Structure 1
Amino acid sequence: MSGLLAPFRLSLPFVRVLLADLGVRPADLLVAADLPGDLMSRDEAVLSPAQYYALFESLEHLVGDRDLAITVADTLSPEVFDPPIFAAMCSPNLHVAAERIAVHKRLLGPLRLRVDADADGVDLEITWPAGDPPPAVLPVVEVAFWVALARFGTRTQVVPQRVVLPQAPRNPAAVETWLRTRVERGATTFVRFSRLDATRPFLTANAGMWEFFEPELRRRLDDLAADATLRAKVRAALVELLPAGAGTTHRVARHLGVSTRTLQRRLGEEGATFGDILADVREELARHYLTKSALPLTEIAFLLGYDDPNSFHRAFNRRTGRTPLGVRATATG
């Protein structure tokens, strides 16, 4: 997909947190943006660029005098589970985070991120779908995100060296005060960081967590291919939905935009069942967490979508004939 036909993948957990922080009722936003009334109850939404733009234009109108881009940036937090963003926070510094998100950006939508580094700094340029420019607020949101990520990761008041926006922000003074730098007008969405700030260590760095997410992010990229099997797409969906306790047939079917009956029928045509795929994903991820991390069983059970550690222990033992702690002991012995 390219251009205006490419969809935007919306992180609904992040949007729900954002709306709560803004004091905006989801129903009011959906009516204003002319979007489906059940959108916020879904696990994920895939919107056309026109719908995505309408959502942010309507939200900017509903927040009144507050600056939406600044509020979005200030909402940045690891509490909202979104694998590409969480992986960025786990990076050793801003430069590495940008390189990682540039690779996985299309998991979030048709935006493209170009990362260029020289001896003095790192440039980030965001490219939007051709044909219809985004509303003025969205380029500001993208730039503010990168500045917020730099500040959040380093716990330092990072100031970008240069910011370029294709349209003037609704409240230029507030945006420039928050960025602590002047905003230029240009034909692109662009932000430059000094070499010092781009390589300043992230206090949120976690190489182990990146090892968890990176293989799955790559698999999800592969699963975007048109010829990917439904089994592969279900697997990718489960990796994303399990931490939210949403690894059910109904939730996965809704995630993939098909009915539960269609999902089961098409899996059957591929010689697979949903239960078998779920069990395979849980076992593979469990072995990965047990052998590659020191995460307690309570956290592993949560990441795999179990209600409690005992349920995880019984299911793992039933499938493998071993206990979780036994597998961990063998790996570390």
Structure 2
Amino acid sequence: MTARVKDVAFLAKVGVPAVSSRDIPVNVAVSAPLVGAARAGVDVDALLAAVGLDRAAAEDADLALAPAQRNALWREALVRSRDPALALHAAEIIPWGTFDVVDYVVAQAPSLGEGLAALARYFRIIRPDFNLAFEADASGGRLSLDLPPTFAGVQPYTTEFTLGCTIARFRRLTEATWSPEAIDFKYAAPGHRDEYARVFQCPLRFDADATVVHFSRAALDLRQPRADALLRPVLERAAADVLARMPPAPRLTAQLRQVLSEELRGGSPTLEHVARRLAVSPRTLNRRLQAENTSFQQQLAELRCELARGYLENPRISIAEVAYLLGFSEPSAFHRAFKRWTGHSPQAWRARPR
């Protein structure tokens, strides 16, 4: 399945213009900023060129953006579109089928609650590095979203888009007017909070400990009238087969990177300290990382490199400040490390043609 499906009636219903199918890439990693930019009339090819991508790369389903390039793509899309709520607006119009088999399998669930459970179950097909979890009981349900630390620079936009897509799609599937009971966001309130209120239509809480959408029991019991009981097991098997062929999520590596990102804020993480935070011995941590074909030092270096590229994109952050933020004892140590990682000095990398 490809990401070229169009539903003109749905676009008209939500009151936004359709986007040309050629402006919608197959790759989910770049869909949100490009769809939002296309909606605003931005030249998508020029936008891609500005961040070092071409359309062939954007349509490569296996493309993985480095954090710095991801940040640059969002920044350019926001600047060129002059739309601070670009992610929310993209979520309202992104075509059905963009998320491949996951879009179709959740559509066959008999109720909203079962659809949310299917979404959480197969979400790794869309974003293997995100953690989307759903739980429900007699009182209601909770859908939680946790992003990897390398998404820190685009956390609000990524969260807006992911939750915006989820709400818009299930409103369409249930053919009913409903809203979450409340949504908690793990970041400060944005300047376009009014658009949050329009899209989500529920109480919003910012600076929360976690990003969680709360659902009432009545909402979870809403039926999805177009669900096909015969088609559902066929699509479930297809989705399960895709999931089974994906490499297992490196759980310890993901936890390690989360801890390292927190420890790097002006400090220099040590194996012993990080192992204590992960409740394992240094020897066990090394052994389990080796089983995942990585190591403490490799993950520390990769995360520092990714974060360094992101920081250097911002000319207001001095190179000495970048060194401090990454836990280096002095700028010269950061210079040597960055040259080893990239083949360029921090100054040369910052001054390179974009």
TM-score (norm 2): 0.54
After superposition, the Cα gap between the structure-2 partners of 1:103 and 1:45, relative to the gap in structure 1 and judged at 3 Å, is: same
Q: Which residue of 2 aligns with 1:96?
A: 114
Question: Where in structure 2 are the equivalents of 1:105-254 lying within 5 Å?
Answer: 105-109=123-127, 110-130=129-149, 132-135=151-154, 136-167=156-187, 168-185=189-206, 186-225=208-247
Provide the rounded CA distance (Å) in 2 between the counterparts of 1:149 and 1:157. 12
After superposition, the Cα gap between the structure-2 partners of 1:14 and 1:130, relative to the gap in structure 1 and judged at 3 Å, is: closer
1:82 offset after TM fit, Å?
A: 1.3
> 1:3-26, CA deviations, whole angstroms, 9 ceiling, x for partnerless residues?
xxxxxx627788876654443332
Greater shift after overlay, 176-185 or 56-65? 56-65
1:78 to 96, 100, 111: 96
> 1:62-107, CA deviations, whole angstroms, 9 ceiling, x for partnerless residues?
3223622332232254354611122112221221122112121111
> 1:114-140, CA deviations, whole angstroms, 9 ceiling, x for partnerless residues?
112122211100011135525221111
Name the SS for the 1:191 alignment partner. strand
- Number of residue-to-residue matches in the alignment: 219
The question of whether the paired residues in 1 share the 8 Å contact of 2:167 and 2:200 is answered with: yes
TM-score (norm 1): 0.57
1:202 offset after TM fit, Å?
A: 1.1
Q: Which amino acid aligns with 1:92?
A: P
1:225 offset after TM fit, Å?
A: 2.6
Name the SS for the 2:64 alignment partner. strand
After superposition, the Cα gap between the structure-2 partners of 1:107 and 1:89, relative to the gap in structure 1 and judged at 3 Å, is: same
Q: Percent identity between the aligned chains?
A: 21
> 1:183-237, CA deviations, whole angstroms, 9 ceiling, x for partnerless residues?
21113221111111112001331233332322222222222237xxxxxxxxxxx
> 1:241-286, CA deviations, whole angstroms, 9 ceiling, x for partnerless residues?
xxxxxxxxxxxxxxxxxxxxxxxxxxxxxxxxxxxxxxxxxxxxxx
1:61 offset after TM fit, Å?
A: 3.0
The question of whether the paired residues in 2 share the 8 Å contact of 1:95 and 1:198 is answered with: yes
Provide the rounded CA distance (Å) in 1 between the counterparts of 2:67 and 2:118. 23
1:31 to 35, 41, 49: 49
Name the SS for the 1:38 alignment partner. helix
After superposition, the Cα gap between the structure-2 partners of 1:31 and 1:19, relative to the gap in structure 1 and judged at 3 Å, is: same
Q: Can you give the 5+ residue segments of structure 1 that lack an aligned partner in the other structure? A: 1-8, 227-333
Provide the rounded CA distance (Å) in 1 between the counterparts of 2:36 and 2:232. 25
Name the SS for the 1:219 alignment partner. helix
Q: Can you give the 5+ residue segments of structure 2 that lack an aligned partner in the other structure? A: 1-26, 249-354
The question of whether the paired residues in 1 share the 8 Å contact of 2:39 and 2:90 is answered with: no
The question of whether the paired residues in 2 share the 8 Å contact of 1:10 and 1:47 is answered with: no
The question of whether the paired residues in 2 share the 8 Å contact of 1:94 and 1:202 is answered with: yes
Q: Which residue of 2 aligns with 1:331?
A: none
Name the SS for the 2:143 alignment partner. strand
Provide the rounded CA distance (Å) in 2 between the counterparts of 1:29 and 1:203. 40
